[in-house]
Amino acid sequence: MASRRGAGGRHIRDRGCKAAVLLSWRGTVVSISMGDITDQDVDAVVNAANSSLMGGGGVDGAIHRRGGPRILEECRRIRSESWPDGLPSGRAVITTGGLLRARHVIHTVGPVWRGGGHGEARVLADCYTSSLALVKEIGLASVAFPAISTGAYGYPVSAAAGVALGAVKGFVEREGWPPAVSFVLFGGEGLRAYEEAAARLARGV
Protein backbone atom coordinates (compact mmCIF):
# COMPACT_ATOMS: atom_id res chain seq x y z
CA MET A 1 0.00 0.00 0.00
CA ALA A 2 1.68 3.20 -1.14
CA SER A 3 2.25 6.06 1.26
CA ARG A 4 1.41 9.71 0.61
CA ARG A 5 2.31 12.93 2.36
CA GLY A 6 0.08 15.96 2.47
CA ALA A 7 -0.98 18.96 4.53
CA GLY A 8 2.13 18.68 6.70
CA GLY A 9 0.70 15.65 8.53
CA ARG A 10 2.23 12.30 9.34
CA HIS A 11 0.92 9.07 7.89
CA ILE A 12 -0.88 6.11 9.40
CA ARG A 13 -2.40 2.98 7.94
CA ASP A 14 -5.73 1.55 9.05
CA ARG A 15 -7.93 -1.32 7.92
CA GLY A 16 -9.75 -0.33 4.76
CA CYS A 17 -7.81 2.95 4.43
CA LYS A 18 -4.87 4.20 2.42
CA ALA A 19 -2.47 6.98 3.30
CA ALA A 20 -4.06 8.61 6.30
CA VAL A 21 -2.81 12.15 6.89
CA LEU A 22 -2.96 13.16 10.55
CA LEU A 23 -3.74 16.68 11.74
CA SER A 24 -4.49 18.03 15.20
CA TRP A 25 -6.96 20.79 16.08
CA ARG A 26 -7.30 21.65 19.78
CA GLY A 27 -6.43 18.10 20.74
CA THR A 28 -8.75 16.48 18.18
CA VAL A 29 -6.86 14.08 15.92
CA VAL A 30 -8.12 14.47 12.35
CA SER A 31 -7.28 11.95 9.63
CA ILE A 32 -7.76 12.20 5.87
CA SER A 33 -7.60 8.92 4.00
CA MET A 34 -8.88 6.93 1.06
CA GLY A 35 -10.95 3.93 2.07
CA ASP A 36 -14.31 2.30 2.69
CA ILE A 37 -16.62 4.26 4.99
CA THR A 38 -18.58 1.08 5.80
CA ASP A 39 -15.47 -0.60 7.26
CA GLN A 40 -14.53 2.04 9.84
CA ASP A 41 -14.13 0.92 13.46
CA VAL A 42 -15.43 4.13 15.06
CA ASP A 43 -18.27 5.18 17.32
CA ALA A 44 -20.20 6.61 14.38
CA VAL A 45 -20.00 6.84 10.63
CA VAL A 46 -21.87 9.57 8.80
CA ASN A 47 -24.22 8.64 6.00
CA ALA A 48 -24.76 10.99 3.07
CA ALA A 49 -28.49 10.27 3.12
CA ASN A 50 -31.44 11.52 1.14
CA SER A 51 -34.38 13.19 2.84
CA SER A 52 -36.49 10.02 2.82
CA LEU A 53 -33.95 8.18 5.03
CA MET A 54 -35.00 5.03 3.19
CA GLY A 55 -31.64 4.33 1.54
CA GLY A 56 -30.40 5.10 -1.94
CA GLY A 57 -27.25 4.90 -4.03
CA GLY A 58 -23.61 5.59 -3.31
CA VAL A 59 -22.58 5.83 0.35
CA ASP A 60 -26.22 5.68 1.45
CA GLY A 61 -26.90 2.39 -0.30
CA ALA A 62 -23.58 0.87 0.81
CA ILE A 63 -24.25 1.66 4.47
CA HIS A 64 -27.77 0.22 4.38
CA ARG A 65 -26.65 -2.92 2.53
CA ARG A 66 -23.75 -3.67 4.83
CA GLY A 67 -25.43 -2.48 8.02
CA GLY A 68 -28.52 -4.60 7.55
CA PRO A 69 -32.24 -4.05 8.22
CA ARG A 70 -32.00 -2.55 11.72
CA ILE A 71 -30.75 0.73 10.31
CA LEU A 72 -33.75 1.04 8.00
CA GLU A 73 -36.12 0.06 10.83
CA GLU A 74 -34.82 2.91 12.97
CA CYS A 75 -34.94 5.33 10.03
CA ARG A 76 -38.60 4.44 9.52
CA ARG A 77 -39.29 5.13 13.18
CA ILE A 78 -37.54 8.50 12.98
CA ARG A 79 -39.56 9.44 9.91
CA SER A 80 -42.79 8.42 11.63
CA GLU A 81 -42.11 10.12 14.95
CA SER A 82 -40.00 13.17 14.08
CA TRP A 83 -39.72 13.92 10.37
CA PRO A 84 -42.86 12.74 8.51
CA ASP A 85 -42.10 15.02 5.55
CA GLY A 86 -38.47 13.94 5.34
CA LEU A 87 -35.23 15.09 6.95
CA PRO A 88 -34.36 18.65 5.85
CA SER A 89 -30.99 19.38 4.25
CA GLY A 90 -28.34 20.25 6.81
CA ARG A 91 -30.01 18.36 9.67
CA ALA A 92 -28.82 15.07 11.18
CA VAL A 93 -30.28 12.09 13.02
CA ILE A 94 -28.68 9.00 14.55
CA THR A 95 -29.45 5.28 14.41
CA THR A 96 -27.78 2.03 15.32
CA GLY A 97 -24.87 0.88 13.21
CA GLY A 98 -26.53 -2.50 12.73
CA LEU A 99 -23.99 -4.96 11.36
CA LEU A 100 -21.35 -2.30 10.70
CA ARG A 101 -18.17 -2.10 12.76
CA ALA A 102 -19.31 1.42 13.70
CA ARG A 103 -21.71 1.48 16.65
CA HIS A 104 -23.92 4.21 15.18
CA VAL A 105 -24.81 5.80 11.86
CA ILE A 106 -25.48 9.54 11.69
CA HIS A 107 -27.67 10.37 8.69
CA THR A 108 -27.45 13.85 7.19
CA VAL A 109 -28.84 15.30 3.97
CA GLY A 110 -26.46 17.39 1.92
CA PRO A 111 -27.33 20.11 -0.57
CA VAL A 112 -27.79 19.54 -4.28
CA TRP A 113 -25.21 21.60 -6.19
CA ARG A 114 -26.90 24.36 -8.19
CA GLY A 115 -23.85 26.39 -9.12
CA GLY A 116 -22.83 27.60 -5.67
CA GLY A 117 -25.05 30.67 -5.45
CA HIS A 118 -27.97 29.11 -3.59
CA GLY A 119 -26.58 28.65 -0.09
CA GLU A 120 -25.02 25.28 -0.80
CA ALA A 121 -21.88 25.97 1.26
CA ARG A 122 -23.91 27.00 4.32
CA VAL A 123 -26.09 23.87 4.13
CA LEU A 124 -23.08 21.61 3.59
CA ALA A 125 -21.35 23.12 6.63
CA ASP A 126 -24.54 22.53 8.61
CA CYS A 127 -24.35 18.82 7.73
CA TYR A 128 -20.98 18.57 9.45
CA THR A 129 -21.80 20.70 12.47
CA SER A 130 -25.21 19.03 13.00
CA SER A 131 -23.52 15.63 12.89
CA LEU A 132 -20.82 16.71 15.33
CA ALA A 133 -23.43 18.19 17.66
CA LEU A 134 -25.01 14.72 17.91
CA VAL A 135 -21.58 13.19 18.50
CA LYS A 136 -21.02 15.57 21.41
CA GLU A 137 -24.55 15.27 22.79
CA ILE A 138 -24.32 11.47 22.98
CA GLY A 139 -20.70 11.45 24.11
CA LEU A 140 -19.19 9.59 21.17
CA ALA A 141 -15.42 9.80 20.87
CA SER A 142 -14.82 9.08 17.17
CA VAL A 143 -16.64 9.78 13.92
CA ALA A 144 -15.92 9.15 10.24
CA PHE A 145 -17.27 11.35 7.44
CA PRO A 146 -17.55 10.70 3.71
CA ALA A 147 -17.40 13.57 1.21
CA ILE A 148 -21.03 14.62 1.62
CA SER A 149 -22.90 15.79 -1.52
CA THR A 150 -19.99 15.11 -3.90
CA GLY A 151 -21.62 12.10 -5.57
CA ALA A 152 -25.07 12.20 -7.15
CA TYR A 153 -25.74 15.65 -5.67
CA GLY A 154 -22.95 17.07 -7.80
CA TYR A 155 -21.03 19.25 -5.33
CA PRO A 156 -17.48 19.70 -6.71
CA VAL A 157 -15.15 17.86 -4.35
CA SER A 158 -12.53 20.61 -4.57
CA ALA A 159 -15.04 23.09 -3.15
CA ALA A 160 -16.71 20.65 -0.75
CA ALA A 161 -13.40 19.73 0.87
CA GLY A 162 -12.75 23.27 2.09
CA VAL A 163 -16.27 23.61 3.46
CA ALA A 164 -16.04 20.25 5.26
CA LEU A 165 -12.66 20.87 6.85
CA GLY A 166 -13.52 24.43 7.81
CA ALA A 167 -16.79 23.39 9.44
CA VAL A 168 -15.17 20.59 11.43
CA LYS A 169 -12.21 22.73 12.48
CA GLY A 170 -14.56 25.48 13.66
CA PHE A 171 -16.64 23.03 15.68
CA VAL A 172 -13.77 21.28 17.43
CA GLU A 173 -12.08 24.58 18.25
CA ARG A 174 -15.30 25.87 19.82
CA GLU A 175 -16.42 22.67 21.54
CA GLY A 176 -13.20 20.72 22.17
CA TRP A 177 -14.90 17.53 20.97
CA PRO A 178 -14.68 14.82 19.67
CA PRO A 179 -11.21 13.34 20.24
CA ALA A 180 -11.06 11.79 16.76
CA VAL A 181 -12.49 12.74 13.35
CA SER A 182 -11.83 10.86 10.11
CA PHE A 183 -12.53 11.93 6.55
CA VAL A 184 -12.75 8.74 4.48
CA LEU A 185 -12.67 9.42 0.74
CA PHE A 186 -13.73 7.07 -2.02
CA GLY A 187 -10.95 7.76 -4.53
CA GLY A 188 -7.73 9.56 -5.28
CA GLU A 189 -9.42 12.72 -6.54
CA GLY A 190 -11.18 13.19 -3.22
CA LEU A 191 -8.04 12.43 -1.23
CA ARG A 192 -6.04 15.01 -3.18
CA ALA A 193 -8.80 17.61 -2.81
CA TYR A 194 -8.94 17.16 0.96
CA GLU A 195 -5.15 17.21 1.32
CA GLU A 196 -4.99 20.43 -0.66
CA ALA A 197 -7.84 21.98 1.35
CA ALA A 198 -6.10 21.02 4.60
CA ALA A 199 -2.90 22.67 3.38
CA ARG A 200 -4.78 25.85 2.49
CA LEU A 201 -6.49 25.86 5.88
CA ALA A 202 -3.11 25.47 7.61
CA ARG A 203 -1.82 28.51 5.70
CA GLY A 204 -4.92 30.50 6.57
CA VAL A 205 -5.93 30.81 2.92
Hey, which residues are catalytic here?
60
| Distance (Å) of CA 4 to CA 7, 13, 36 | 10, 11, 18
Report the DSSP beta bridge partners of residue 145. 183
Strand arrangement, sheet containing 92-96: 10-12, 17-25, 28-35, 180-185, 142-145, 44-49, 104-109, 92-96
Which residue type occupies 197?
A
- C-beta atoms surrounding 33 within 10 Å: 24
